[in-house]
Structure 1
Amino acid sequence: MSAVMPSTEPQGVRGRRVTDSATRLTHGLMALSFALAWLTGDTERWRDVHVLSGYTLAALLLLRLADALWGPRRLSWRQVARQLGDAARWALAAWAQLRAPLPDWMGLARRAQSVALGAITAALLLCLPPLLACGWLGDQDWGPQWLQEALLEGHEALADGALALVGAHLLALLLLSLLRQRNAGAPMLSGRVPGAGPDLVTQPRHGRAVLIGLAVGLLWCWQWPL
């Protein structure tokens, strides 16, 4: 009977899977759609591209909502609510520490690392629905003139707020990468984090990612040129 040779591959070389392909592609397409919508928002020449980018972002957000309801546990709205709750509890703890004779600054900083990025992401997800709703209603010329103007102003204000959250998101990623001495955005590129241990996401969902990519590509081919 032949002996079973132990594997010579070091444990944890590939790391643990924490994000599936469909989630990463959706995240990337949402970022690209938002960037296109922002860049084309102030010029009438590219208005059709602005509108199509907004519709694409809305469709991807609906897909994200479906994942929150029926998808993996890590994408559920409970996770979003937990991230916001963690941020609120951290803020209360920070206020208590500031009033203490000897604040634990290092403890606050370590805790902030784990809540800031998640809270900003959750806030951005909550900002997108009213932003897109105002844009859609304005594009449909819905209601009287004063309401259309109010929708336009609301759309622009929400867009500025979303852009600020995107900037805060990127800044938080940069600070987190510096503090932990590794790229905090890598999971959205490779889907994995270094180290041994069980995968937090068991299904890579490659097929779903292909379908999402094809659907978005067909939408743009169908609507271009507008």
Structure 2
Amino acid sequence: MLVDHWPLLGLRVTTARLELRLPTEAELAALADVAARGVHPPDQRPFLVPWTEGTPAERSRILIQKHWRRRGAWTPQSWVLDLVVFVDGRPVGVQEMHGQDFAVRREVGTGSWLGLAYQGRGIGTEMRAAALHLAFAGLGAAHATTASFADNPAPLAVSRRLGYRPDGISRDVRDGQVLVSQRLRLTRADWERVGRPLVPVTVTGLEPCRDMFGVDGFRTDSDVRPE
């Protein structure tokens, strides 16, 4: 079976109402349909990614190519895990987690998006909490980082609720203009104190994947269950 050769296909991160995992090809197509319908109002631009540019078909194709490209480029030294978020078996968005030289740095970064129809329900907080549990309890991370535009309050509120602290700014260019993002950092101690108690999370199928993250041999929490 393919999962024997690519064990990430068996990784599951679950909360009371969400399941985060890699999608099947049919589910990836359904996710592309969600993205094509919009992830933010057309008069806003809360991401560097140009979600409102191009036709719905073009946006769908870009998302699928990005997913395939990241899978194909995966190494233990540089990886991006695009966990699709499912509610009642339907894909609603993506919770990304990435690592660079994770075995040494013990640090992950996160990013995410949700279809417009699924926003405002607390899903954003729950899916980030799930990814953080995988990072800290499952992979033995010491830090997690994220960044949001200074005028994009929703993800900043999620970060504050989960225990992140300000970590400076970054300056990016979009359409010929400089945009300022607020960087945020979550330490393991702050996650244990603030973020972890918010959402109960279960991780299964991690053990066969550990060498793919470059963490074989790291101590992890006992509530991360292997298959």
Same fold (TM over 0.5): no
TM-score, structure 2 length as denominator? 0.23
Per the normalisation by structure 1, the TM-score is 0.24
Query: Whose Rg is larger?
Result: 1
- Which one has a larger percent helix, Structure 1 or Structure 2? 1
Higher relative contact order (CA 8 A, sep 6+): 1
